[in-house]
């Protein structure tokens, strides 16, 4: 590529609404331009990195036996109604109508459509396993799009789905994807960690997130440096890291409708850092009589998933509790928290949920199995969280750095990460809901065992920058830099010798398969250097008359403090 023919559009200052470093640098380097909240143009410079991320993902998935297809961005409501997600998803699912007033959604992910493909195409166990993936635009109407491409509304995701004959085979598919993800993130050149993640209603231990390590990450991770133990601690755990930090009753009183706006407001009331993610909150309110005796306790169980938003709040409804203590009905919670009905749905409390009380720690799982009043004395508002599945049981509530690791193999450390990938065993959740079956070896129909596997393509570009930057700009890992090498001729229009050597080197690097850009804009060195350091090209070669007299050019790696002199013929070997 020649710079004069490309589109280079750098800015001295980032727009004032840019919040995090990757967003500022992507805007300044001309990689993205904002169109609306969470919606960006991927400019030519940015698209080059995005395409490189996609290419690595494609290669590794194809190698692992996955098959590429493309599913539609606009998907009919009927499929989403079959799984119930049309109602459950809330406002994150962007809905639209066609000219006949028929309902459609923009895909936030594609379990429904891919399961529909499977039930039509995969008739026999002989066609299994199958693993379909796409690299496609997704739309999620995030309540708070932010951080540029890191939490966009429109973004590019690789989503893949495996179909297997039984659970054991699904485990093999899962492990294969887990391994492929490891190779992908290695090749991308990022420092990452795979952590155990919440398996929600599905249960089991097969859900892992791939997290790019960065202090600015939204997720908190706990890991053991001397073993493989690593898990995502989400906010509820962090809440309980801070017992007694506020008077929860007072907090609730101060907030006539906590949760109405955002979890961030709740987090604020509880005195928590906004960056943390609220996962579940168990709040209890009490009514007392004139003598101060508790006459009624209501437990509000809110599961708040994901992005600090209340758009997936679910209310708990549990029967069978003894007098004096009851869970609120859905209607009461709706009213109390001012939520829209679409936000709520009953949750099954199959997993133990713990209430951290002022005086007692009671296991809500036990409450549900016939607890009596003696089992739970607590005051005010309580908070809690989902416990990890038994395999992972680590009571993370009071975790601090240096605590023993749950696997007994060392001590725990805490760091922050950016979720860039997620592998998840789905079981038969979608195949049952959509009655997607194949004929098993015994001739009987069986539901597919499924897994789903996501990678945030555009988020990776942001995460890579969060991890690799300095005061001058971006520092790309070679594999995903928009260009690997930039040639900066000093005196392009004035020196025949410089021009000739630059052209020669340019051709030689291209011939060696190196992604090189020749800066033939005839700019001063200072301007060229500032641009390319901002853009973050990993290798720079400066060609000037002075060096050429001694038969050398100047090479400087983006992280190097000084340039070194090299013969032009040695450059290709040096940058590979
Ligand atoms: P988050 O917890 O950050 O909201 P998620 O768990 O909702 O992410 P998944 O449904 O697991 O996301 O989607 C797979 C991947 O897509 C994520 O691991 C992430 O890398 C990416 N992704 C999700 N939401 C966004 C977004 N709004 N913008 C950019 N990438 C996203
Ligand atoms: Mg997540
Ligand atoms: Mg999300
Ligand atoms: Mg996820």
Give the H/E segment covering residue 120: helix 111-121
- pLDDT of 325: 36
- pLDDT of 159: 98
152 lines ligand 1 (CB under 6 A): yes
- pLDDT of 14: 95
Q: How many other C-beta atoms can be found within 10 angstroms of the C-beta atom of residue 80?
A: 23
pLDDT in tens, the chain (576 residues): 999 999 999 999 999 999 899 999 999 999 999 999 999 999 999 999 999 999 999 999 999 999 999 999 999 999 999 999 998 887 889 999 999 999 999 999 999 999 999 999 999 999 999 999 999 999 999 877 889 999 999 999 999 999 999 999 999 999 999 999 999 999 999 999 999 887 655 556 788 999 999 988 877 788 889 998 888 765 333 333 222 333 233 333 333 333 333 333 444 444 433 333 333 344 444 556 777 665 555 544 443 333 333 323 333 322 222 223 344 454 554 455 444 443 332 222 222 222 322 222 233 322 225 222 222 222 222 222 232 222 222 334 345 677 777 778 998 787 888 999 999 999 999 999 999 999 999 999 999 999 999 999 999 999 999 999 999 999 999 999 999 999 999 999 999 999 999 999 999 999 999 999 999 999 999 999 999 999 999 999 999 999 999 999 999 999 999 999 999 999 999 988
Helix, strand, or coil (residue 23)? helix
- CA 114 to chain centroid: 21
Relative to beta strand 485-489, strand 516-518 is parallel
Distances (CA, A) of 37 to 18, 140, 149, 414: 11, 12, 10, 32
538 lines ligand 1 (CB under 6 A): no
336 lines ligand 1 (CB under 6 A): no
CA separation for the pair 529, 486 (Å, rounded): 10
Kindly identify the ligand whose nearest atom is closest to the C-alpha of 153. Answer: 1
307 lines ligand 1 (CB under 6 A): yes
148 lines ligand 1 (CB under 6 A): no
CA separation for the pair 53, 459 (Å, rounded): 10
Asked if 394 and 231 count as a contact pair (C-beta separation under 8 A), the reply is: yes
Span from the CA of 49 to the centroid of ligand 1 (angstroms): 19
- pLDDT of 512: 95
- pLDDT of 276: 32
* Ligand 1 atom at minimum distance from 209 CA: 18
CA separation for the pair 353, 280 (Å, rounded): 9
- Count the residues in the chain: 576
- CA nearest ligand 1 atom 18, residue: 421
* Ligand 1 atom at minimum distance from 109 CA: 10
Give the position of tokens 């992005």: 307
- pLDDT of 374: 24
């Amino acid at each position: 590529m020649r710079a004069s023919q490309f589109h280079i559009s750098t800015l001295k200052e980032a727009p004032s609404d840019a919040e995090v470093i990757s967003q500022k640098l992507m805007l300044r380097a001309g990689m993205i331009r904002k169109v609306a909240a969470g919606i960006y143009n991927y400019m030519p410079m940015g698209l080059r990195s995005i395409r490189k991320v996609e290419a690595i993902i494609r290669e590794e998935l194809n190698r692992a036996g996955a098959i590429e297809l493309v599913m539609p961005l606009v998907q009919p409501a009927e499929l989403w109604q079959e799984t119930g997600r049309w109602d459950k998803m809330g406002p994150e699912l962007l809905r639209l109508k066609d000219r006949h007033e028929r309902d459609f959604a923009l895909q936030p992910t594609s379990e429904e459509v891919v399961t529909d493909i499977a039930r039509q195409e995969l008739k026999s166990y002989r066609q299994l396993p199958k693993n379909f993936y796409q690299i496609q635009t997704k739309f999620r109407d995030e309540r708070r799009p932010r951080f540029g491409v890191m939490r966009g509304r429109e973004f590019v995701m690789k989503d893949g789905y495996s179909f297997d004959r039984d659970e054991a085979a699904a485990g093999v598919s899962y492990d294969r994807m887990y391994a492929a993800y490891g190779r992908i993130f290695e090749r991308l050149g990022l420092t990452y960690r795979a952590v155990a993640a919440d398996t929600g209603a599905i249960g089991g231990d097969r859900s892992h997130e791939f997290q790019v390590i960065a202090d600015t990450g939204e997720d908190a991770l706990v890991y053991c440096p001397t073993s493989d133990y690593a898990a995502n601690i989400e906010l509820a755990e962090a809440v309980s890291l801070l017992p007694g930090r506020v008077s929860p009753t007072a907090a609730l009183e101060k907030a006539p409708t906590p949760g109405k706006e955002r979890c961030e407001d709740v987090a604020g009331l509880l005195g928590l850092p906004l960056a943390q993610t609220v996962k579940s909150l168990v709040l209890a309110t009490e009514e007392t009589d004139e003598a101060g005796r508790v006459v009624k306790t209501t437990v509000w169980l809110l599961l708040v998933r994901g992005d600090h938003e209340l758009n997936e709040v679910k209310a708990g409804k549990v029967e069978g509790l003894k007098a004096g203590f009851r869970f609120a009905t859905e209607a009461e919670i709706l009213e109390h928290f001012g939520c829209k009905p679409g936000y709520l749905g009953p949750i099954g409390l199959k997993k133990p949920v713990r209430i951290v009380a002022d005086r007692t720690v009671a296991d809500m799982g036990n409450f549900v199995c016939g607890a009596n009043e003696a089992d739970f004395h607590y005051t005010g508002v309580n908070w809690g969280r989902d416990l990890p599945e038994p395999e992972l049981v680590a009571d993370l509530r009071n975790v601090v750095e240096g605590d023993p690791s749950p696997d007994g193999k060392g001590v725990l450390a805490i760091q922050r990460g950016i979720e860039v990938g997620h592998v998840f065993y789905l079981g038969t959740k979608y195949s049952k809901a959509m009655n997607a079956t194949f004929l098993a070896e015994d001739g009987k129909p069986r539901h597919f065992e499924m897994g789903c596997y996501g990678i945030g393509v555009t988020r990776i570009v942001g995460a890579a920058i969060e991890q690799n930057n300095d005061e001058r700009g971006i520092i790309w890992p070679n594999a995903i830099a928009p260009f690997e090498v930039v040639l900066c001729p000093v005196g392009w229009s004035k020196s025949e010798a410089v021009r000739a050597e630059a052209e020669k080197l340019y051709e030689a690097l291209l011939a060696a398969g190196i992604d090189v850009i020749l800066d033939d804009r005839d700019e001063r060195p200072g301007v060229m250097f500032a641009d390319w350091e901002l853009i973050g090209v990993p290798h720079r070669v400066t060609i000037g008359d002075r060096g050429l007299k001694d038969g050398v050019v100047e090479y400087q790696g983006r992280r190097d403090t000084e340039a070194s002199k090299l013969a032009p013929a040695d450059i290709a070997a040096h940058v590979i």
